[in-house]
Amino acid sequence: MNVSRSSLVAVSFALLLVLAGCSAPVADADATWSWPDDPPTDRIGWENGYWYNESIDVDQSDGLNETEQEAFVARTMARVEQIRQLEFDKTVPVDVVSREDYQSNRNVFVSEPDPWEEQLYEATFLVGEDESVAEVFSELYGGAIAGYYTPSNDRIVVVSDSEAPTMSRATLAHELVHALQDQQFGYAAPPQTRDGTLAEDGLFEGDANYVESLYAERCAAEWDCVESPAREAGGGSSFDFGVYLTVYAPYSEGPEFVAALRERGGWEAVNAAYDDVPVSSEQILHPDAYPDERPANVTVPDRSSNEWSRFDRDPATDRLGEVFAYVMFWDARAIDQSSLRQQTGAYSRYNYSTGATVGWAGDSVVPYRSDDGEYGYVWATEWDTKGDADQFRRTYERFLLQLRMNADRVDESTYVIESGPFADAFRVTQDGTRVTIVNAPTAEQLDDVHAA
């Protein structure tokens, strides 16, 4: 299996919990035929012999047979069309696999350990030196994925936790939206930064989750919908909730972003966004920032010693964005954790904004390595105002480093965490609206990574 987009795309999580769904269309009349007969040509709200509001004989209590699955998929396609007001160009194959089979092949979503990537997650205090990012994502994806769509072969896979094949209607509708996106707009190569990827996912996953929610509203109010399996996908797997929150941000905040676009100009405004995709997670969290407010271009001059160098990769830097900054503080309990539950709208599950991060304007993180196999990084952040930069720096120094990580302050701008998975030295400096964090194994090596 080859997923052409980032693993953050085309992956539906069972942990969506209440986001289950259904939807439908209204047949338009034609002089040559009479609804509800099959129309002479394909149209929105009808797929493969089924209208969106047609009853189907499907019972998942003993699993789905081939006939039931075909009817379930066809009517769900018709309902997704009706809600989204877009037509499928072709039928999408849907396979149901057991979680056991999925887990045996889940390495499709899991990469080998990457020292460069490790520094990104260490910089945000999400994955320490006692584990690898690859291990964390393996645990997350192993038990949390309910289904996915692969653009490379136009195929949907739904993961079933029961012995007999079953499908969550929410998962099916969600992945069908991804197939519809591919057919109507296409999938380009993913952005080169994590922030850019979260932004693009905010549109793609936001659209899918928004339609999924509208589908659920129709099921509750007017449609006859297939009951979902008693046990949704999940498998009881443990996972790192902080890392999960970064992955989940497009699913949580993306629907509100898409709803805001639709309120501005209907589905046409949502469709137009695929030609001008969001470029930062800030735009997803704050729809008013789209499309005009672009992230600042934050550059980091290389001031390392001869023993330290950047990684030989293109690009050698990354942009983490407002989502990662928020989750860093939340996961470390450097801010009030109840802020996460203060939903920002009817279609969002979490809130990713707090005073210490809402003024984000741009950032750049640059991992470094030494000739002796040690690692460090420079993380330069830019803020809308000096006050925003002050608040970020104070929260980082006082609440994250000193209060939560028990760091010792060894001079005006230098802190040392003596033990634990984040044991390192940190230099935090501010110049107006810019806050720069330098990390090295020891305080003496900070200048080797980035001379003051």
pLDDT digits (tens, 9 = 90+) for 157-166: 999 888 788 9
Residue 36 has a pLDDT of 79
Residue 180 φ then ψ, to 5°: -65, -40
- Give the Cα separation of 103 and 143 in Å (integer): 8
Using DSSP, state whether 431 is helix, strand or coil.
strand
Q: Longest Cα pair distance anywhere in the chain, in angstroms?
A: 84
Complete DSSP assignment for 255-271: HHHHHHHHHHHHHHHHH
In sequence order, the 6+-apart residues with CB closer than 8 A to the CB of 110 are: 134, 137, 138, 141
Query: In the chain, which residues have pLDDT < 50?
Result: 1-29, 232-236
Q: Are 194 and 252 in contact (CB under 8 A)?
A: no
For residues 383 and 356, give the distance between their C-alpha atoms in angstroms, rounded to a whole number.
10
Hey, CA dihedral for 28, 33, 35, 38, is it positive or negative? negative
**414: which residues sit within 8 A by CB, 6+ positions away?**
425, 426, 427, 443, 446
Residue 132 is predicted with a pLDDT of 93
**Burial tier of 411 (Cβ tally within 10 Å: 0-12, 13-18, 19+):** exposed
CA 206 distance to own-chain centroid: 9
- In whole angstroms, give the CA distance from residue 307 to residue 297: 28
Measured distance CA(207)–CA(387) in Å, rounded: 35
Amino acid type, 318: D
Domain ranges of the chain: 11-289, 308-449
pLDDT at 3: 34
Question: Beta strands of 138-219 (E only): which ranges?
Answer: 145-150, 155-160
Q: Residue 108: what pLDDT? A: 54
Q: How far apart are CA 378 and CA 383, in angstroms?
A: 16
The CA-atom distances, in angstroms, between 1 and each of 161, 209, 345 are: 20, 24, 36
- Predicted pLDDT of residue 197: 97
Element (H, E) at 450: none
Tell the residue number behind the tokens 């396609």, with chain if given.
77
Q: How far apart are alpha carbons 166 and 344 in whole angstroms? A: 33
Dist CA 74 CA 81 (whole Å) = 11
Rounded to 10 deg, the angle between the 133-144 and 241-273 helix axes is 70
State residue 344's pLDDT score. 75
Residues paired with residue 414 on neighbouring β-strands, in sequence order: 427
| Placement of tokens 């390192």 in the chain | 424
Residue with tokens 């930069």: 389
* pLDDT tens digits, 311-365: 999 999 999 999 999 999 999 999 999 999 987 789 999 999 999 999 999 999 9
Pairing of strands 155-160, 145-150: antiparallel
Nearest CA to 21 out of 227, 263, 266 is that of 227
Q: pTM of this prediction?
A: 0.90
Within 10 A of 280 (CB to CB), how many other CB atoms are there? 29
CA nearest 165: which of 102, 228, 96? 96
Q: Can you give the pLDDT at residue 39? A: 87
* CA-only gyration radius of the chain, Å: 24
Instruction: For residue 337, give the DSSP letter.
Output: G
Q: Is the dihedral of CA 260, 262, 268, 270 positive or negative?
A: positive
Cα atoms in the 13 Å half-sphere on the side-chain side of 407: 27
- CA 132 to CA 130: how far, in whole Å? 7
Tokens of residue 276, six digits: 């001008």
Check residue 47 and give its pLDDT: 95
